Amino acid sequence: MDSVDTALDRVWPAELRTDRLLLRPVTREDGSLVSELLTDGRVRAHLGGSVTEDRGAARQAAYPTTAGAWTVVRVADQRPIGLVTIGADHRCEGRVELSCQLLPAAWGEGLGREAVAAAVSWWTDAVPGGGPLVAVTQKANSASCRMLEAIGMTVVDELDDHGARQCLYTPAGDQDDSDLRWFRLLAARRDAVERR
């Protein structure tokens, strides 16, 4: 199996379309969207809080060159409303992590569910055997938990990470025991190091 980055590079860039959305690769023109997402306290409430100006600038510069980073555009008004990313999971080698952030003005319309479902389907179709896919969200983020469950993802584990209880989701039937054991071992090791 290729590394996640190698697998993404083979199929990137990619555009995805749904009934209401276009997911297109992030461009430099999306800088203001990235900045707004990274500094909005509501968006970042379950993501560790607003990022510093330096970290925000680094992410703005990196996103346009990152395979697997889409800008979510609402088709009706052509307005960029968020980001969806698929990339290597820093917690477990060979596994893919999915992430989604939407501006608060786009919440409650099912757009996150539509965007994430499109990305999951794309990964499954474009990169068969590309590695297990996960999404990690704080248990307190009930809206994200409901969204992931609505597209058929299931909680396969819970852990304490970065001072919060996290739920590890994967598409039903897409996770094997060995991956979970590695995830738990890595999380326990990281927790032990952080306590020192």
- Give 182's Cβ-side CA count (13 Å radius): 13
Question: For residues 40 and 103, is the Cβ–Cβ distance under 8 A?
Answer: yes
Question: For residues 17 and 34, is the Cβ–Cβ distance under 8 A?
Answer: no
Q: 3 vs 161, which has greater pLDDT?
A: 3
> For the segment 33-75, what is each residue's pLDDT rounded down to a tens digit?
999 999 998 999 888 888 888 888 888 888 888 999 999 999 9
pTM to 2 decimal places: 0.84
> For the segment 93-152, what is each residue's pLDDT rounded down to a tens digit?
778 899 999 999 999 999 999 999 999 999 988 887 777 889 999 999 999 999 999 999
